[in-house]
Amino acid sequence: DRIVVEREQLDRTAHRARFGSTRGASERWETTIVNRRDERATVTVRDRIPVSRDPDVKVTDVTVQPAPAERDELGRIEWTAHIDPGAKWQATVGFSVEHPKDVEVVGWR
Query: Global pTM?
Result: 0.85
Q: Is residue 73 pLDDT above 80, yes or no?
A: yes
Whole-number pLDDT of residue 108: 64
Q: Is residue 109 pLDDT above 70, yes or no?
A: no
Percent of the chain with pLDDT over 90: 73
Neighbours of 62 (CB within 10 A): 14
For the stretch 69-103, what's the b/e string if a residue is b when 16 or more beta carbons lie within 10 angstroms of its beta carbon? eeeeeeeebebebebeeeeebebebbbbbbbeeee
Contact by Cβ (8 Å): 5, 31: yes
Whole-number pLDDT of residue 18: 53
Q: Is residue 63 pLDDT above 60, yes or no?
A: yes
Measured between alpha carbons, how far apart are the two ends of the chain, in Å? 32
